[in-house]
Amino acid sequence: MAPSALGLPSTPGVIALSEEERKAGKWSRANLQRALELFHRDGLIVMSGIVPKEDLLKLRENMMETADAVKAEKAGSPGKFNHGIMSNFLQAPPMSTPELLFPSVYQNPYVIQIAEKYLGGGQIRMPFITANTAIANSTQKQPIHKDCSFNHPLAPFMCISNFLLDDFVPSNGSTEFWLGSHATTTPSEQYWRSPESLAPTCDIIPDILEERRKTRPPSQVTVPFGSVLLRDPRTWHAGMPNSSDSDRIMVAVAYQAEWFTEDRRFKAPESARALLTSNPNIIPLCEFYTDEEWNTFCQRWGNGEPMDLVYGPKPEGWVTIGDVAPEDKVLNHNFNPNAKG
């Protein structure tokens, strides 16, 4: 495990955009350095003031209505929910609606500037765009995990920007994060699909969690509406119950290092092609479909349709997150012989 992290904060640092930076269209050297310092230390940062709230409100109005329909379709089928836990699910942002294709979300310069530096520059890739919806009046907590159901690199290879469409607070299921866990985590700390499997599941082994808790315990974050989270997918976290009376949505746009060559592909509508390909330094790893065709499967995450999260570091690759029931996950003592389960 990592050396003691006692004394470090359990809440993420905030980088606030100044008016001068807004006019210049870029972070100052001081803020960029501070963002990278915090990101490398914690695996999570909060960026304030980098996206117009009116853009997020328009997305929220549209996506809340869609969430109701998606939720109704998934009702009663745990396997269709994120991690098989009926507290949240994935849905697609409205990318076939031109008036909701906001550059502030899908090509945000302040996110990209930090992502480029964190991932090592070059033509960084965009491996997916999705959204996560925390269901109102839910009671279940996800298993603590990292978003790496494969033998992940031990260096920054991806970061995920989350655009918050509501206040992100414990009462509506804000995420529990284990800050700094990304810096020393390895695949040996994860449960596996079977003793013979060559790739792990996402979930962290409980005794390892308890050891980490002694040095830097987790926290359920509080972040105001309009902020953007940027996180390393190796950072341990868990989706939490939403005890409020309203669903809570955040949009996710991911960036992947140029050197991490695994070719994960998502699907996007033709309406979004011009925007997603507008930055020559960002390569979207996607296949474009007509808007009509995309709309037939765009909300089918976890339903066995083409939007499943499937992708391939060989010999075993990414799979739909909820594909292995919690009771079927096992220890692999070839990789972690000291784990107790």
How is 23-69 classified by DSSP, letter by letter? Answer: HHTS--HHHHHHHHHHHHHHSEEEEESSS-HHHHHHHHHHHHHHHHH
Name which residue leads in pLDDT, 326 or 191.
191
Is the torsion defined by CA of 200, 202, 203, 208 positive or negative?
positive
Contact 212, 329 (CB under 8 A): no
Length of the chain: 341
For 134, the token pair is 């925390």
Decide: helix, strand or coil at residue 150.
coil
**Largest distance between two CA atoms of the chain:** 56
Over residues 58-86, the mean pLDDT reads 75
Please give the Cα distance from 146 to 202 (Å, whole number): 5
The residue type found at 337 is: P
Whether omega before 156 lies within 30 degrees of 0, making that bond cis, reads no
What local confidence, expressed as pLDDT, does residue 310 receive? 41
pTM score of the predicted model: 0.87
- Tell the CATH topology of 13-328: Jelly Rolls (2.60.120)
Per-residue pLDDT reduced to its tens digit, 227-278: 999 999 999 999 999 999 999 999 999 999 999 876 667 899 999 999 999 9
Peptide bond into 269 cis (omega under 30): no
Q: How many helices (H) and strands (E) does the chain have?
A: 8, 16
Beta strand ranges found along 57-211 (DSSP E):
88-91, 124-126, 129-134, 158-164, 176-177, 190-192, 200-204
Distance CA(202)–CA(144), nearest Å, equals: 8
- At how many degrees (to 10) do helices 109-119 and 29-42 cross? 60
Pairing status of strand 237-238 against strand 176-177: antiparallel
Query: Looking at per-residue confidence, does 330 or 194 come out higher?
Result: 194
Q: For residue range 283-331, what is the model confidence (pLDDT) as tens digits?
A: 999 999 999 999 998 887 655 444 444 444 444 444 434 445 555 565 5
- Which H helix or E strand runs over 249? strand 248-256
Rounded Cα gap, residues 15 and 32, in angstroms: 9
> How many CB atoms are closer than 10 A to CB 325?
10
The proportion of the chain whose per-residue pLDDT surpasses 90, expressed as a percent, equals 63
Region of poorest pLDDT, from 67-81, 168-182, 279-293: 67-81
Tokens describing residue 50: 């980098």
162 in helix, strand or coil? strand
* Nearest residue to 158 via CA among 252, 258, 228, 51: 258
Mean residue pLDDT of the chain comes to 85
